[in-house]
Amino acid sequence: MNYEQVTETYEAYAQKIGDRKRMYETIANIFDVKRALYPGSHVDIAPSFVIPHVIYVDSFKGAIRFFKKLETVQELIDQRKEYDEPCAIEFFGQDYTQPLDIEPVDLVISQYAGFVAQAMKHHLKPGGILLCNDSHGDATLARFDKTFELIGVMGSTNELVQTGLDEYFHLPKGKDVDIAEVKKTMKGPKYTKQEENYAFRKRLERE
Ligand SMILES: C[S@@+](CC[C@H](N)C(=O)[O-])C[C@H]1O[C@@H](n2cnc3c(N)ncnc32)[C@H](O)[C@@H]1O
């Protein structure tokens, strides 16, 4: 792929999924994120516009083709990045459940790509942030996993709301969440109050 093809591929995809840059920017600014891991990224390189070092992982052949000329993707990011540091990107064209030889990260991004947080939590620094939605139930698994603490929710305004968090992840009529069912169906339940995205903090070992 040449520069024009890489740009066109990204632009077409960004138009389909909507502009996520502000969402990533909010998280990067609040939590001073310098290094992120994005498994199941497809070609969503928006995190690199606001985060200096991002590691992308995807096994889909279209994504592998896109990232094959890493310098060309990097060139596009260099044109659009909003930080002073040089941009660094890595890509692993593999199943994210398989071992990854990387240093711990400040942020794990999970967007519509299965149980990313469960597979990747060991790569997240203690105190690091998980940004995820509940499309496939990944936020639900994080909410009921002692590794994580819910610290914020984010809707279409891309502002992080850090109050009233006890109101989330409740089923109608006080029913219990069936984690086994979520794992089986790979679908987040319909809660009485929900948001597009959730931010969790990985607890420190002594907590
Ligand atoms: C629905 S797309 C979402 C892409 C992007 N995160 C977004 O929100 O636009 C899911 C992506 O996750 C990738 N994916 C799903 N499971 C994966 C796995 N186990 N290993 C690597 N990639 C995976 C797919 O190849 C696909 O590109």
Average pLDDT of span 5-34: 95
* Domain-wise residue ranges, the chain: 3-202
- The answer, yes or no, to whether residue 19 has pLDDT greater than 90, is no
Using CA atoms, how far apart are residues 135 and 17, in angstroms rounded to an integer?
14
Are residues 160 and 154 in contact, defined by beta-carbon separation less than 8 angstroms? yes
Are residues 47 and 109 in contact, defined by beta-carbon separation less than 8 angstroms? yes
pLDDT band at 160 (very low <50, low <70, confident <90, very high): very high
Average pLDDT of span 101-130: 98
- The answer, yes or no, to whether residue 31 has pLDDT greater than 80, is yes
pLDDT for 103 equals 97
Output the residue whose Cα is nearest ligand 1's atom 22.
58
- The answer, yes or no, to whether residue 22 has pLDDT greater than 80, is yes
- Cα-to-centroid distance, 148 and ligand 1 (Å): 22
- The answer, yes or no, to whether residue 203 has pLDDT greater than 90, is yes
Q: Exposed e or buried b for every residue in 99-130, given b needs 16+ CB within 10 A?
A: ebeeeebbbbbbbebbbbbbbbbebbeeebbb
pLDDT band at 1 (very low <50, low <70, confident <90, very high): confident
pLDDT band at 8 (very low <50, low <70, confident <90, very high): very high
Tell me which residues have their CB closer than 6 angstroms to ligand 1: 17, 40-42, 44, 57-60, 63, 95-97, 111-114
pLDDT for 197 equals 98
- Cα-to-centroid distance, 173 and ligand 1 (Å): 34
Atom of ligand 1 nearest to the CA of 94: 21
**DSSP-derived secondary structure letter, 172:** G
pLDDT band at 205 (very low <50, low <70, confident <90, very high): confident
pLDDT digits (tens, 9 = 90+) for 118-131: 999 999 999 999 99
- How buried is 190 (Cβ within 10 angstroms: 0-12 exposed, 13-18 middle, 19+ buried)? exposed
The CATH architecture that domain 3-202 belongs to is 3-Layer(aba) Sandwich (3.40)
pLDDT band at 9 (very low <50, low <70, confident <90, very high): very high
The angle that helices 70-80 and 61-68 make with each other, rounded to 10 degrees, is: 80
Report residue 44 as tokens.
Answer: 């969503």
- Cα-to-centroid distance, 42 and ligand 1 (Å): 6
Output the residue whose Cα is nearest ligand 1's atom 8.
111
Average pLDDT of span 87-102: 97
- The answer, yes or no, to whether residue 207 has pLDDT greater than 80, is no
**DSSP-derived secondary structure letter, 48:** G
Ligand 1 site-directed mutation target among 38, 43, 44, 59, most atoms within 8 Å of CB: 59
Output the residue whose Cα is nearest ligand 1's atom 16.
113
φ/ψ of residue 84, rounded to 5: -85, -30
- Cα-to-centroid distance, 172 and ligand 1 (Å): 30
- The answer, yes or no, to whether residue 88 has pLDDT greater than 80, is yes
- List of long-range contacts for 191-197, beta carbons under 8 Å, 24+ apart: 192/167, 193/167, 193/168, 194/134, 194/168, 195/153, 195/154, 195/155, 195/161, 195/168, 196/133, 196/154, 196/155, 196/156, 197/23, 197/131, 197/132, 197/133, 197/139, 197/153, 197/154, 197/155
Q: Rounded to a whole number, what is the distance in angstroms from the first to the last CA of the chain?
A: 48
- Cα-to-centroid distance, 175 and ligand 1 (Å): 31
pLDDT band at 163 (very low <50, low <70, confident <90, very high): very high
Task: Give the chain's mean pLDDT.
Answer: 97
Question: For strand 105-110 and strand 124-132, is the pairing parallel, antiparallel, or unpaired?
Answer: parallel
